[in-house]
Amino acid sequence: MTDQASDDTANPEESTSRRDFLQIATYTVGAVGAGLAVWPIVDSINPPADVLALSSTEVDLSPVEVGQSITVIWRGRPVFVRHRSEKEIEESRAVPLDAMPDPQKDEDRTQKAEWLIMVGICTHLGCIPNGQRPTDPKGDFGGWFCPCHGSHYDLSGRIRKGPAPTNLEIPAYEFSDDTTVKIG
């Protein structure tokens, strides 16, 4: 093969010969065929239909009092739902954006300011940050603290200190009515 390639550059007039065309055409068809043959096998390790069927979760928010947090499961992953107080919202909005590794306004992280809904998985290496229970360590910024490698998140779930590269992920969700939210 390498010999063939070097011949091409040495004799440019021969690089368009019939034999080269046939060879390239054969390899191309072979490569396309191999790709088509491999695709079903690769696709088979994607999430199957029964997993995709579990892709949304409905949550009743009515029992969650101001200042409380609950954890719900969506696609097998924990989702933090926090009923924030006015004070928490104000504090979160007052923070200057240039103090954050991943600057994002608090307004952009919620649909309704009192409900903070986010995937409770540290964006560093996938641990679940502490801070959902009143007794948990909440880190230097009063939000969540990941015990694995020490990432501190604030009351808006934004990374403030530690190795995590981005803020806690906000899932797609919509409110069906004032007290019901559909995640996913």
Partner 1 sequence: MKLSKSIILPFLDWVDYRLPVFSYARHNLIDYPTPKNLNYWWNFGSLAGIVLMIMIITGFFLAINYTPHTDYAFSSVEHLMRDVNYGWLLRFMHANGGSMFFILVYIHMFRGLYFGSFKAPRELLWIIGVVIYLAMMGTAFMGYVLPWGQMSYWGATVITSLFSAVPLIGDTIVTWLWGGFVIDNNTLTRFFVGHYLMPMVIFMLVIVHMWALHQHKSNNPLGVDMRTPADSIPFHPYYTIKDMVGMGVFFIVYFGFVFFAPDFFGEPDNYIEANPLVTPPHIVPEWYFLPFYAILRSIDNKLIGVIAMFAGVCILFALPWMDRCRVRSAKFRPIYRQFFWLFFADCILLGYIGAQTAVEPFVTIGRIATAYYFAHFLIICPLICKFERPLVPPESISAGVLKAQKGAE
Q: Given the rule CB under 8 A, which residues bind partner 1? A: 2, 5-6, 8-9, 40-41, 43-46, 48-51
Our answer to whether residue 83 is catalytic in this structure is: no
Least separation in angstroms between residue 43's CB and partner 1 is 4
User: What backbone phi and psi angles, to 5 degrees, belong to 71?
Assistant: -115, 125
What is the amino acid identity at position 7? Answer: D
Beta bridge partners of residue 79, listed in sequence order: 72, 119
Give CA angle at 128 (130, 87), nearest 5°: 45
The secondary element (H helix, E strand) that includes residue 121 is none
Using DSSP's 3-state secondary structure scheme, residue 90 falls into helix
| Residue 103 tokens, joined | 């600057």
Least separation in angstroms between residue 81's CB and partner 1 is 30
Nearer CB in complex with partner 1: 34/99: 34
Nearer CB in complex with partner 1: 50/178: 50
Least separation in angstroms between residue 30's CB and partner 1 is 10
Nearer CB in complex with partner 1: 26/85: 26
Active site (catalytic) residues: 149
